[in-house]
Structure 1
Amino acid sequence: MRQNPNRGRVYRCCACRDSSDKLFGPRCPKLSKARHGGWGFAVDLPSLDKRRTMRRTGFATKAAASQARAHVLECERAGVSLDDSETVADYLTRWLETKSPTLKPNTINRYTAYLHNDLIPAFGAIALERLTHEHVAQFIARELTAGRGPVTLRRCITALSSALNDARRNHRLPHNAARFAKIPRPPRPELTCWSTNQASAFLRQCRTVDDPLADLFELMICTGMRKGETLGLHWADVDLEARALFVRWTLVSVDNSRSMFNAPKTKGSQAWVALSDRAFAALQRQRRRQRRQQLAARDYDDLDLVFARPDGQPLRPQYVLDHLRRLTADAGLPAVRVHDLRHKNVATTVDLYGHLTRDAADDGVNATCAALDAADARAA
């Protein structure tokens, strides 16, 4: 049977109470006065057992109450499961608890911070179905006016949009109020890339001072591996005989005090990386260095890491960054991030990961090796 699209009722009501402290609601005798009270609506919703009625009050006009009732009926026709008691705070808290087992620790920490520091204070008291694009737009405008960085703000709204998308998929909402949020995109920062001569000078500086991370930086520059992939590299994933290594782990910082191993950043990274002569030699030197550390250490925790602290524990990413900054300054080179080492400007720019043929990967790393060797020769 076809349902009545206008079913339910819109009525005047107020918050006055009788002598027994019971609400008058629509029966208040003062409602005969035009300025007394407000408007509400009631709609019976489908239920498997007893009748379930949704009532909402506090609307300033009859038109506003009628519009809200129409929204409820529209949601029902769209198959959306309404719960007028669930707030945005309730939903976001439950969403993160459900989502956490599928997220990486860094993502969980970031989402938790956005929820408790930004989203719940801004929208938490609003009923989930009443959250609108205007609410989100006002929040963005307020944050930008207060000097909030657009990159951080974009990530915050992305977290909200992800949560609301799940609500849509689970038939809790008919639309995503954060989907079309407009946040100005900051200008792309200019990427600082070293020339071949600069990369060569940096590696020579590392060798001159016999820095303990010299071979780590050599491997990153010669292979294009990410910092986390290099720090997460295990000897079990290195095949020196085949001149290749496999990226199976990445080390990530969970917070300022601890790190953990995760799967690589992208599926394309979970493949083999060809080794040039320089990368091969760097790994051999690192193995010899590590064996000396093991003999010198009183208590060495062998985690099979290629690059580790003298006690075998994983290196801290901040420690690597500090070394890079000091060595870069000593070599008189422009400052770069650790991540930028993989974007160096050498003779051939190639994707070194396994979707290429072995010959193409070999050609790419060998071209990098040859360019660095030529730069070393010129400097000598």
Structure 2
Amino acid sequence: MIDKVGGQPDGVYRRCGCKDPATGRRWGSRCPRLADPDHGTWYFAVQATDPRGHRIRLRRGGYDSPAAAQAARNAVADHDLHERFGEVATVRDWLYSWLADIEGTVRPTTWQAYRSHVVEYLSPGIGRIPLQELTTGEIQHLFDGLGKRVNRYADPLAPATLQRIRATLRRSLNIAVREQVLRWNPVLGLVLPGGRRSRPTVWSRNRVDAWRLDGWRPVVGVWTVDQLAGFLDGVEDDPLYGLWHLAALTGLRRGELLGLKWIDVDLDSRELTVCRQRTEITGQIIDSLPKTDAGVRTIALDRDTSQALECHRLSDWSSPAADGFVFCWPDGRPLRPDWLTHRFAELLKQLKLPPIRLHDLRHGAATLALSAGADVRVVQEMLGHTNYAFTADTYVSVLSAQSRAAVDGAAEAVRAKRARPHRAITNTVHDRGGRLGG
């Protein structure tokens, strides 16, 4: 039987994330807007037993209704931590339990990334340690070792990868702190090497020579216009030519390309709308919304890309239905994202082009647009970036070249209007030389 307190089940309450403008602190359950029944979310608090037999108070939230919060509270009360993990909970126990708890509450791709970090790095490294004995030193030792590991290209794990693994561990242990299983989060004392974001590097002639000589390659490679044209010429007879052309000119992500339906494409108006992406999670193809609100966007198409899509629509590698997918197998099965990546790599080997990743076509599309004079905000919207500064910072080398071109153009315009610009410049140089040379 459920006890009622204030008309709600015992141990269940509502709160929000609003802040007091005077203090900057969260109102919590004291927010005046909680008089609105649609404001805030539901939480529960319950006494449970930790792995060492001590009674602790657990708090969890984010539920849509008091009934949902009460159901979750009952589940925790029925299966306390001692029963859940056995005599001593290890870090591995906690991480896998945390993954099970959050599955379905975060984006499938986010959950898959968390699981990958747990399976590949965290569980093998610190999984055997009792959760309540985990220290910052042991975590530091793990990450120092990860910093020396190499990926499939024989390159060390990037600082950004280490940061993401740390974020996964930090988030999981934050829950342990919130539920009073841990007193504090030992990840907070972890020190990682700083790393700069890898910016696009154009495959110039000397870089191509270095690649052919000893296999050197940039982290993020971008083709020149000639190299991109050579790629499109080389894949013109490929059944997925429309996809390669679309990716190269618009910068759509892999999942966005595979999630595109014909109802999202208006070839008469030469535009398409990105509103879903297809990803593969544990062997299953899943359709979901783009990662951010900015990812839902409408993109203008040039005439060549529109014609490429029009031709593709008549091919076997496209669904004939109005609500069918633009790119799929001839029998209608979805293309797997990893297969598309491997297919792209095979084509590059056949064409003997400088290597880039499939995702680097996205960087190439942005670089091409900026070099052609497109405004940064236009490119930001085309790529679906949330932040203007992120787009400008990522393509700073292209923008620098644009700035130099703009300065030279302005100077040329002024020079053209002067009566005798060359004589004036020459005299100035001679005057300076005379003064400096004595």
TM-score range, shorter chain: 0.5 to 0.7
1:201 corresponds in structure 2 to 230
- Is 2:358 the counterpart of 1:338? yes
Mean Cα deviation higher: 144-153 or 100-109: 144-153
1:125-144 superposed Cα distances (whole Å, 9 cap, x missing partner): 54544422122112223444
Q: After TM superposition, list the pairs within 5 Å mapping 1:101-250 onto structure 2.
A: 101-116=104-119, 118-124=121-127, 126-144=129-147, 149-151=156-158, 153-185=162-194, 188=198, 189-207=218-236, 210-250=237-277
- Is 2:279 the counterpart of 1:276? no
Give the letter for the 2:190 counterpart: A
1:282-321 superposed Cα distances (whole Å, 9 cap, x missing partner): 2211112249x77xxxxx9997000111111111234323
Q: Distance in 2 between matches of 1:101 and 1:55?
A: 30
Give the letter for the 2:288 counterpart: N
Show structure 1 runs of 5+ residues with no match. 1-47, 57-71, 77-81, 295-299, 357-380
Measured after TM superposition, the shift of residue 353 of structure 1 is 3.2
Q: Distance in 2 between matches of 1:281 and 1:214?
A: 11
Contact 2:262/2:322 (8 A) holds in 1 = no
The 1:193–1:240 alpha-carbon spacing in structure 2 relative to 1, beyond 3 Å, is: same
**Identity score, percent:** 31
Q: Which has the higher contact order (CA 8 A, sep 6+)?
A: 1
Q: Distance in 1 between matches of 2:303 and 2:149?
A: 53
Show structure 2 runs of 5+ residues with no match. 1-45, 58-80, 199-217, 386-438
Residue 102 of structure 1: SS of its match in structure 2? coil
Equivalent of 1:353 in 371, 376, 382: 382
Equivalent of 2:287 in 255, 261, 270: 261
Measured after TM superposition, the shift of residue 214 of structure 1 is 0.7
1:376 corresponds in structure 2 to none
Contact 2:295/2:384 (8 A) holds in 1 = no
> Would you say how many aligned residue pairs link Structure 1 and Structure 2?
276
Q: Which has the larger radius of gyration?
A: 1
Residue 103 of structure 2: SS of its match in structure 1? helix
The 1:93–1:328 alpha-carbon spacing in structure 2 relative to 1, beyond 3 Å, is: closer
Measured after TM superposition, the shift of residue 124 of structure 1 is 4.3
Q: Distance in 2 between matches of 1:320 and 1:313?
A: 13
Q: Distance in 2 between matches of 1:150 and 1:157?
A: 13
Mean Cα deviation higher: 185-194 or 144-153: 144-153
What TM-score do the two structures reach when normalised by structure 1? 0.61
- Is 2:326 the counterpart of 1:317? no
The 1:137–1:220 alpha-carbon spacing in structure 2 relative to 1, beyond 3 Å, is: same
Mean Cα deviation higher: 244-253 or 125-134: 125-134
Give the letter for the 1:309 counterpart: W
Q: Distance in 2 between matches of 1:147 and 1:205?
A: 33
Please tell me the root mean square deviation across aligned C-alpha atoms, in Å: 3.9
Give the letter for the 1:219 counterpart: L
The 1:115–1:239 alpha-carbon spacing in structure 2 relative to 1, beyond 3 Å, is: same
Contact 1:303/1:312 (8 A) holds in 2 = no
Q: Distance in 2 between matches of 1:105 and 1:176?
A: 26
1:288 corresponds in structure 2 to 314
Contact 2:250/2:382 (8 A) holds in 1 = no
What TM-score do the two structures reach when normalised by structure 2? 0.53
The 1:169–1:240 alpha-carbon spacing in structure 2 relative to 1, beyond 3 Å, is: farther
